[in-house]
Amino acid sequence: MSGSIQRLRRLQQTIVQQRDQIARHNDYLLNEQRVAKAVFDRVAHSGCLNAPNIRYLQSPYALFNGDLLLAAYTPSGDTHLLLADFTGHGLPAAIGAMPLAEVFYSMTAKGYGLAEILREMNAKLKRILPVDMFCCAVLLCVSAQRRCVEVWNGGMPDGYLQAALSGERTALTSQHLPLGVLRAEVFDHATQVMPMLPGDQLFLLTDGVIDTCGPDQQLFGVERLERVLDANRHPLQLIAEVEQALRDFQGQARDDVSMVQITSQLPAFLGVPAIVYSDSGQCSPRDWSASFEFRASTLRQFNPLPFLLQLLMEVHGLRAQGPVIHAVLAELYSNALEHGVLGLDSRLKRDTGGFAHYYQQRKERLATLKYGFVRVSLQVEPIGESGRLLIQVEDSGAGFDVARVMARPLDLDRLSGRGVSLVRQLCPAARWAPDGRSATVEFSWGGLA
């Protein structure tokens, strides 16, 4: 009798000990998650997710579901947006998010394009993640100035581009393997470019939305989602309407889905220079010139803009104008490359079909480019305490009829031929050589403007 009472007592002790141990472990776990989230929030929330043209829905624990949403302005005022979904849950899923966010913010701030950012993200994740972990992602560059959006989708559900004027809806379908699967040498960073006018809307979601399970193990699915999109009348309500549809379908709210919506909207000001300068401000090169000639094999696969911008931003007097300089240089460079060296006709971009055709031709001609160059000459000169920068961009192309293009009004509503009018708006002193093969712009600082 006393034996069985003792056994009961021991049993009870064991249970109490185990209960306390579980409670302690749970506390540890929650605390770990809290600390990890706090550290991560500092890394990830320095972006522009709160910009007036972005709306999103994300659970506070999205990170531990493997979901990641980041947004940041490029130096020239475009918006980069990343929606990503790591395989798995909990800390393992959260751990890859940190390096991804670092790459996204630092490369966006330095003026890198989607291709370079994607390559870096993929290489980094491939290096650090175990073979069976990867990251589905959509990366976008929304440019209100160039009226287009550039998209890369690897493994995410279709996103949607909704045109305000025509009401047309285009699916942004996954065309790639997720990030972190392929070796750097075989990774494909090819993006799609589509026209996106002010007021057009982009909607992205994670697979939790379409995989929401309803009664009888039925999935919410793409068809139901598209019915909600069809029924939507006010873009501002869209995320709430999808959320409501999921609630009605499942009978309860879901807290593990992410959705984001972005409108093309010119920023009130160009992106603030986000590069952090580590020098003390004592050494600024104020009197120098340099000339670079980027030839065919370089043009095929190298983007010289971040490098040139970083060089120019060593000149302290120019930093305040960094965003404008970047926007102008980027425009002049892509004009020289696309219309000059590659001989592409911007009139192709008059409509949506032409737009796709234009970027297809750009890709094909660039891949087989054998001859040609873009030459960038920089001249920085001090004038007393002030100074000025001259940038000349030349190309090996056939040039264009400068007089005719200059005679056109500064028109921001056309899809085609936007480069020249954008440059003239940002830099009124811009001038072109009569043969259309070279352009010169000037920036002054220190009261010389």
Residues of this chain that interact with other proteins (CB under 8 A) are 87-88, 131-134, 136, 154-157, 174-178, 181, 207
Find the shortest distance in angstroms from Cβ 250 to other proteins: 17
Q: Which is nearer to other proteins, 93 or 348 (CB)?
A: 93
Find the shortest distance in angstroms from Cβ 84 to other proteins: 13
Taking CA atoms, 93 is separated from 43, 85, 125, 130, 391, in Å, by 16, 9, 12, 11, 46
Find the shortest distance in angstroms from Cβ 240 to other proteins: 26
Q: Which is nearer to other proteins, 256 or 345 (CB)?
A: 256
Q: Which is nearer to other proteins, 157 or 340 (CB)?
A: 157
Find the shortest distance in angstroms from Cβ 20 to other proteins: 30
Give the whole-angstrom CA distance, residue 298 versus residue 115: 15
Q: Which is nearer to other proteins, 104 or 134 (CB)?
A: 134
Q: Which is nearer to other proteins, 95 or 439 (CB)?
A: 95
Query: In 281-295, which positions are buried (b, 16+ CB within 10 angstroms) versus exposed (e)?
Result: eeeeebeeeeeeebb
Find the shortest distance in angstroms from Cβ 88 to other proteins: 7
Give the whole-angstrom CA distance, residue 344 versus residue 339: 5
CB-side neighbour CA atoms (13 Å) of 377: 9
Find the shortest distance in angstroms from Cβ 178 to other proteins: 6
Query: In 395-408, which positions are buried (b, 16+ CB within 10 angstroms) versus exposed (e)?
Result: bbbebbebeeeeee
Angle ∠(275,276,280) on CA atoms, nearest 5? 130
Q: Which is nearer to other proteins, 165 or 186 (CB)?
A: 186
Give the whole-angstrom CA distance, residue 427 versus residue 403: 18
Find the shortest distance in angstroms from Cβ 191 to other proteins: 15
Find the shortest distance in angstroms from Cβ 210 to other proteins: 10
Q: Which is nearer to other proteins, 131 or 276 (CB)?
A: 131
Q: Which is nearer to other proteins, 83 or 427 (CB)?
A: 83
Find the shortest distance in angstroms from Cβ 176 to other proteins: 6
Give the whole-angstrom CA distance, residue 81 versus residue 21: 43
Find the shortest distance in angstroms from Cβ 181 to other proteins: 7
Q: Which is nearer to other proteins, 136 or 342 (CB)?
A: 136
Token match 């918006």: residue? 79
Q: Which two tokens stand for residue 314?
A: 């060593």
Q: Which is nearer to other proteins, 204 or 337 (CB)?
A: 204
Q: Which of 93, 74, 95, 75 is nearest to 85 (CA)?
A: 93
Q: Which is nearer to other proteins, 75 or 178 (CB)?
A: 178
